[in-house]
C-alpha cells in the first residue's frame, strides 16, 4: 500500500472522527456532515439525508482503494469486492440491527479507524470555540474542564510522534 498523504486524500476529518479524535453524538450522520463541512472540499446542505452521507463515505473508500496495490486488494480486510462489502453490510444490518445507511457508514468508519500511521498521514485536528471537542474511544466525552489549548497540545504531541 502506498502511504496516503493529505495532498491526495480529501477526507482527513472523517478519518479523525473514525479514530475518535472528535466527540461523537447520538447522530453519526450529523457528525459526519460536520466533518465533511470542516474539510471544506464537499458541498453540504441543511437537508442532507443519510443516503447523501453514505455517498460521501463510499467516495472516501474509493480514495482509499486508489492507494492499494494488488496484494492489498486480495486481502478481505479492505472489502474491495462488491460481494465482501455487501456481506459486511448485511452482517451489520442483521447483527447490530442497523439500517442500510448506518451499516454502510459504520463499515467504512471501521476500515478508516484501523488505518495505521504507516498507512496514512493525517493533518492534526484543531480545537476551538465553535468547533468540535476532542473525542474519547471508551467514554462518551472528555471532561468539560479540558481547555481547547490542552486539547490542541495533546493532538500536537500525538501527531508529532
pLDDT for position 155: 87
pLDDT for position 106: 96
Cβ burial, residue 75 (10 Å; 0-12/13-18/19+): exposed
Q: Are 111 and 78 in contact (CB under 8 A)?
A: yes
How far is Cα 80 from Cα 94, in angstroms, rounded to an integer? 21
Q: What share of the chain is helix, strand, coil (3-state, %, to 5)?
A: 50, 0, 45
The predicted-structure confidence for 89-108, as pLDDT tens digits, reads as follows 999 999 999 999 999 999 99
Each as own residue / partner, the long-range contacts of residues 151-155 (CB below 8 Å, 24 or more positions apart, any chain) are 151/127, 152/126, 152/127, 152/128, 155/21, 155/124, 155/125, 155/126, 155/127
The predicted-structure confidence for 109-161, as pLDDT tens digits, reads as follows 999 999 999 999 999 988 877 667 777 655 555 566 678 888 888 888 988 86
Mean pLDDT value across residues 13-28: 90
pLDDT for position 160: 83
The predicted-structure confidence for 23-51, as pLDDT tens digits, reads as follows 888 899 999 998 888 776 778 888 899 99
pLDDT for position 44: 82
How far is Cα 50 from Cα 110, in angstroms, rounded to an integer? 18
pLDDT for position 126: 84
pLDDT for position 112: 95
**Domain boundaries, given as residue ranges, for the chain:** 12-124
pLDDT for position 131: 64
The predicted-structure confidence for 75-90, as pLDDT tens digits, reads as follows 767 777 888 899 999 9
- pTM metric for this prediction: 0.88
Q: In the numeric block, which cell numbers belong to residue 41?
A: 472540499
Answer with the residue of higher pLDDT: 63 or 82: 63
Amino acid at each position: 500500500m502506498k502511504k496516503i498523504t493529505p495532498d491526495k486524500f480529501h477526507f482527513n476529518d472523517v478519518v479523525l472522527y473514525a479514530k475518535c479524535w472528535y466527540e461523537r453524538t447520538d447522530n453519526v450522520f450529523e457528525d459526519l456532515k460536520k466533518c465533511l463541512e470542516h474539510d471544506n472540499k464537499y458541498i453540504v446542505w441543511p437537508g442532507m439525508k443519510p443516503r447523501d452521507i453514505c455517498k460521501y463515505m463510499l467516495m472516501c473508500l474509493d480514495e482509499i482503494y486508489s492507494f492499494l496495490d494488488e496484494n492489498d486488494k486480495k486481502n478481505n480486510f479492505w472489502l474491495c469486492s462488491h460481494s465482501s462489502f455487501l456481506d459486511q453490510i448485511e452482517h451489520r444490518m442483521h447483527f447490530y440491527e442497523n439500517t442500510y445507511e448506518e451499516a454502510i457508514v459504520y463499515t467504512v468508519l471501521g476500515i478508516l479507524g484501523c488505518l495505521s500511521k504507516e498507512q496514512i498521514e493525517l493533518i492534526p485536528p484543531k480545537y476551538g470555540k465553535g468547533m468540535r471537542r476532542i473525542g474519547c474511544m471508551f467514554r462518551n466525552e472528555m471532561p468539560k474542564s479540558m481547555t481547547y489549548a490542552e486539547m490542541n497540545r495533546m493532538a500536537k504531541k500525538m501527531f508529532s510522534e
